[in-house]
Chain A
Amino acid sequence: MMMSNSPGDFHCLSLGEDQEELFTENSNSNVVDTQFDIIIGYIEDIIMEEKFQTLQNSFLERFYKEFEETEENKFIYTDIHKEYVNVLEKCLEDELSMRVPDFSMIEFTKQIIERKSELDGEIFEILLTFSDFVAFKDMFLDYRAAKEGKTVDLSTGLTITSYSEMPCDRGEINFGQN
């Protein structure tokens, strides 16, 4: 491949906390619902945790120099994106396996498909941005800009009108379009 750094050696290190006994009652069909909700809750926890964030960050750090502020995309972005999705997914799966006894990603994705009409929560939006290419590219460009000190210059979009020229007697700051 074209990549000089193989992203394949990223691993999600897990500390194994939060292992709980989930199934104390098996008496009704709510068990499936409960388990589904618990897993979603875990996913929320996992992506907020330092481990996951660190993983994401080390990925950014490793590849941000490949990304350029041009409209056209390089083929290598696609390679990096695929690897990124694999790595994050692996991390999610590893972490879930630590928390949920006998966790099966295949089983879980089946449940998700069955419940697709219910999937409106923020958690799914977040998960989707992980796999959305445009969001992925923007994330890298933002990271690079921040890294290289090219943060957005707000002054170009800011017009400060002097108090005396104001048509009304309240002080206002106009945020111009250009």
Chain B
Amino acid sequence: MGLLTILKKMKQKEKEVRLLMLGLDNAGKTTILKKFNGEDIDTISPTLGFNIKTLEHRGFKLNVWDVGGQRSLRSYWRNYFESTDGLIWVVDSADRMRIQDCKQELHSLLLEERLAGSTLLVFANKQDLPGSLSSEDIKKMLDLDNIKSHHWRILPCSAVTGEHLLEGIDWTIDDIASRIFTMD
């Protein structure tokens, strides 16, 4: 690891948190990011690269990285693992067809060494859509109870209404903070 990387890591001690938001395409990652940041969510198109937002929240500086989820883009995800404190896995709760694909992608991420120790928040998004699966259903279908390698939590949410977004982010920060910032 080089000098600049080390400096950057040390800088992060001042309550900087890096969150990586991943999930299949059309799960609503960018919409969540923009909604949380108070931006307009009417004109969001599929992400082909990645977005970054730096948000001030509860005295923390959140660096949120949102990377495109199309199949052809998923090989790029690994370029963004480094220094991740929290992984936000976004699920389209109305997309029953791809829930297996969703499960596989999540579980292979959890094996990543560079994500070891990171907090996992699963957002069961699109709860505002009729026929969407409940977070309880998704918990079972994604086999979350078998995750022992990460602190995790699942929350139902809607990026459109904003329901539970804040709660999810707050839990993630609390979990990260209890691991990292109590050491000082």
A interface residues with partner B (beta carbon < 8 Å): 71-75, 77-78, 85-86, 88-89, 92-93, 105, 108-109, 112-113, 116, 119, 124, 127-128, 130-134
Contacts and interface: CB of A to CB of B under 8 A. Distances in A.
Interface of B: 1-8, 10-11, 13, 47-52, 54, 73, 76, 79-80
Contacts of A128: 4, 7-8, 11
B10 A116 contact: yes
Contacts of A86: 2
A132 B49 CA distance: 18
A103 to B, nearest CB: 12
B4 A72 contact: no
Contacts of B3: 89, 92-93, 105, 108-109, 112, 127
Contacts of A109: 1-3, 6
Majority SS of interface residues in chain A? helix
9 contacts: A72-B48, A72-B49, A73-B49, A73-B51, A75-B73, A77-B49, A86-B2, A112-B10, A128-B4
B2 A74 contact: no
Closest 5 CB pairs of A and B: A131-B4, A89-B2, A74-B49, A116-B10, A73-B49
Given A112-B10, A116-B13, A71 B51 contact: yes
Given A127-B4, A131-B5, A113 B10 contact: yes
Contact of B7 (A74, A105, A127): A127
Contacts of B2: 85-86, 89, 105, 109
A133 B5 CA distance: 12
Given A73-B52, A75-B49, A132 B8 contact: yes
A75 B76 contact: yes
Contacts of A134: 52, 54
